[in-house]
Amino acid sequence: MKKLLLIFVVTSSLAISSMAAQTSSGIAEAVRGDSTGSGWVASVLHWYDAHMNYTAVTSLMTLESSFIPFPSEVVIPPAVYVAANPESQGGMKVWLVVLFGTLGAMIGALINYFLSMWLGRPIIYAFAESKIGHALQLSKDKMQRAEEYFNRHGVVSTLVGRFIPVIRQLISIPAGLSRMNIGAFCLFTCIGALAWNCILALLGWLAYKAADPTVIERYSHQLSIIIVAIFATAVLFFVVRALVRRKTKHGTK
């Protein structure tokens, strides 16, 4: 039964990925249509302008948050770049791109969570080491890295982990394996996904204002590092403050 469920979820996810394949195919066609070295980004954004919509954003971000690798950097920033243009054909709104992107991220995370909780560690790890798992760029090492990160940082890792490549896609799996409280999981995942999508949206908006789409590629990685550092500093501050208060409390007795 569990194996059948795994096959069903993989098949469903692959069906969602067909939209990603169509997107990639359309982008490739746009690139081929422009022979100039500096004009391919503009061609890609032109393709997005004609084809991107809220359903596509949700589906692609669901894919990005599940165990099928798909970078969010090629979804939210270009979509926002297009949405920021008042003359865009799609007529999308920036805040709705962020909203539907977060919805997609939540759906993908919940797929990983419940799938892991239901199937258990042996089947999940066996799948990661299978030919299909390897085709999806999964491996035992990646699974162990995500699980170790979760065990080391606790439930807050489902929030902070949304900013870390590889961990972002897989952090929901150890959360499901450990049967993390679903309410806390949804809360932390939503906050993390929303914050990350806002960062990506900011990149897209800045790129539009600068009339330079390459801003997206240049700064997405640096911004994620900065945000992780901010969160780590905040967590350290609260931990140190709690320890100082505890020491002071015990010292007054």
Cα–Cα dist 227/230, whole Å: 5
The pTM of the full predicted model, rounded to 2 decimals, is: 0.71
Q: Would you give the DSSP letter of residue 204?
A: H
Note down pLDDT in tens along the chain; length 253 residues. Answer: 444 444 444 444 444 444 444 444 444 444 344 434 444 456 656 767 777 789 989 988 998 888 776 777 778 888 898 888 887 767 789 999 999 999 999 999 999 999 999 988 888 888 888 888 877 778 888 888 888 888 887 778 888 778 777 777 788 999 999 999 999 999 999 999 998 899 889 888 988 888 776 676 666 666 666 666 666 676 676 677 777 877 776 666 5
Cα–Cα dist 80/77, whole Å: 5
| Residue 68 host element (H or E) | none
Q: By the 8 A CB rule, do 75 and 105 touch?
A: no
Return the domain boundaries, the chain.
2-223
Helices assigned H by DSSP within 93-213: 94-119, 121-128, 131-135, 140-153, 157-160, 167-170, 172-177, 182-210
Cα–Cα dist 180/107, whole Å: 17
- pLDDT score recorded for residue 31: 37
- pLDDT score recorded for residue 8: 40
Cα–Cα dist 249/41, whole Å: 59
Report how far Cα 57 is from the mean position of its chain's Cα atoms.
12
